[in-house]
Amino acid sequence: MPLGLTASEASTSPIQDRPVAPGAAPGFPDLSIIARMANAFFHLAPNQSLTPAADPGIPIAPPSPAFAPAPNVVTSVAPHTPANPMVGPPDLPPTTIPSIAPTPNLVAPQAPSLSSLPPGYGEPPLPGASAGSSVPFDLGETTQLVPAGHRGNSYDPAAAASSADGAYFLKESALLSLPQALAAPTVPPAPPGAPASTAPSAAPAAPAATYNFLELDLRPLAAPARGAIGFPLDPEAIKRDFPILQERVNGGKKLIWLDNAATTQKPLAVIERISDFYKHENSNIHRAAHALAARATDAYEAAREKTRRFLNAPSVHDIIFVRGATEGINFVAQSWGRANVKEGDEILVSHLEHHANIVPWQQLCAQTGAKLRVAPVDDSGQIILEAYEKLLGPKTKIVAVTQVSNALGTVTPVAEMTALAHQHGICVLIDGAQAVSHMPIDVQAIGCDFYVFSGHKVFGPTGIGAVYGRDSVLAQTPPWQGGGNMIADVTFEKTVFQEPPERFEAGTGNIADAVGLGAAIDYVESLGMANIAAYEHGLLEYATAKMLAVPRLKLIGTAREKASVLSFVIEGKETVEIGKALDAEGIAVRSGHHCAQPILRRFGLEATVRPSLAFYNTCEDVDALVDVLFKLQGRN
């Protein structure tokens, strides 16, 4: 790495105003600073500013006046200052999942055509390509990236396997989402010299269960601003932010982490923020008048504000810290549920659910005499909306569904499902554990009453998560645990409870890891959730086509809307055998039932192998996975 200026040096007074360095001649600036400036200048890319970003490995967006981050609840007096206090682009308006009836509220990032990208943004990179690398193709006017076996409206595994062309391609919907494209159908560009049309053209109906690939024009374009919508992520640079991804396993093999649905890895910014908390701020919160208590309280409440912003919740009073999504669902079941669900009532879940969104409701049914109902899924793994709607009725008290299936990757139409439930006056809980790391989340657009997620699924620490609760619902929800900070006054005759959220946070919480969750949110927002969604979708399409070329491999879960999960089985091979073969090459995947036995049994299975992707994964990672699968079949 070249020796460039630090951010603090670049932002302080001019060189001539700096103190004279020891040994320097009076009246002259520190020559080492001049040398570092020159060195930084000559290492700049074309059109790059001399002023460096706070972290060259992370795209950072300067906040625009319209989307500046919300201020912290209080100003922290802690000596630690986050390296990147700014956020990426705001959450985008959700779009309609094309496999169901149109609705304006579904949170499933979709992509426009290249023509809708604003000037200067350019096309996204190929999945896994370095944003600053040269393209190893003859560019000409338009580079043909799609192998012959992949062209057309369907995917031919046999042709793909025999193709010698490069296999880097993107589905059209992998391109970057933009607000204007989400608001209306894309308008084709007018011919040169013709007036631009203001009438949107009708969006063509997309064929079901097909793979449509795109030829990208890779001619050099102006570089977009870092962190802006449309900025191409550089996963190789991002990998360097995650110390564990430099780990070597099993005799020196490079670690390839493809078990992100189980837990995501932690960037150095999160690790250091937790360490700094324990070094400089550690104290209990809300209870003392000394300096460290003020620092810890400020840091904890600032993390609550970041979580509110991340979910687009209306108020910090709607955010409750818990140990994770599992505890969040249990909290709702044992607080709101015990107060509102009675004998003969019904609780509705879907066939896709993780055990954590089944067992607490079964326990509530056992306690109250209520019944558990299940919304079915089709053969692709998507919820059958018509069947779901028929299950809603006057006996239904709460709907609890996942936004993204951890076993199949299915993205469910949560906004439409919420709206249908609310027509019957039914409370709705959304399990967002698998969604928060892959797409922008807007609880107000979804319209749900509760939303739960785990910090460790979004590059934060384990043992921390959050529940969003609608204010009017939380106001009528009793506490589920007692003691500590949740009380306003206690006598032996009665207890007066605090208002939400303190009412639901009994005892000493996981303060340091809440602060770490705030740092993780800072990190993903600096990249931009829309950019993450677009990059991962392209990588998912790449991995899907590569894996379909493996003999006797069957993907489980082929819904039109999917996030970064690729569950599969191979005929004649045990899932444990496949997992061990991958592990021997340093490739970490999950093999088993994924705590989602009902949905696997819906497909006649007890286990699958589940690679799951994140924004630090690359085409090279996918290729390594597929190479092992081919070797298991006796082919190199």
Catalytic residues: 595
443: its two tokens = 């609880």
Cis peptide before 501 (omega within 30 of 0): yes
146 contacts 169 by C-beta, under 8 angstroms: yes
397 contacts 289 by C-beta, under 8 angstroms: no
Strand duo 568-570 + 487-490: pairing: unpaired
Cα dist from 116 to 93, 417, 436, whole Å: 16, 30, 26
Q: What is the DSSP string of 227-242?
A: TSTTPPP-HHHHHTT-
Cβ contacts of residue 472 below 8 Å, gap of 6+? none
Cβ contacts of residue 146 below 8 Å, gap of 6+? 165, 169, 213, 214, 215
442 contacts 308 by C-beta, under 8 angstroms: no
82: its two tokens = 């986050």
Residue 244: alpha-carbon gap to chain centroid: 19
Residue 573: alpha-carbon gap to chain centroid: 32
- Dist. CA 246–CA 261, nearest whole Å: 20
To which residue do tokens 């955010």 refer?
A: 319
352 contacts 592 by C-beta, under 8 angstroms: no
- Dist. CA 608–CA 408, nearest whole Å: 10
Cα dist from 38 to 27, 47, 49, 224, 438, whole Å: 20, 16, 13, 24, 40
For residue 501, give the amino acid letter.
P
Q: What kind and span of H or E run contains 487?
A: strand 487-490
608 contacts 595 by C-beta, under 8 angstroms: no
Residue 146, CB half-sphere, CA atoms under 13 Å: how many? 22
Task: State residue 38 phi and psi, 5-degree precision.
Answer: -65, -45
- Dist. CA 376–CA 111, nearest whole Å: 29
550 contacts 626 by C-beta, under 8 angstroms: yes
158: its two tokens = 């046999």
Three-state SS at 397? strand
Q: What is the DSSP string of 502-566?
A: GGG--SS--HHHHHHHHHHHHHHHHH-HHHHHHHHHHHHHHHHHHHHTSTTEEES---SSB-SB-
181 contacts 139 by C-beta, under 8 angstroms: no
Cα dist from 317 to 280, 327, 408, 444, whole Å: 27, 19, 34, 15
- Dist. CA 565–CA 611, nearest whole Å: 6
In sequence order, what are the beta bridge partners of 612?
Answer: 259, 565
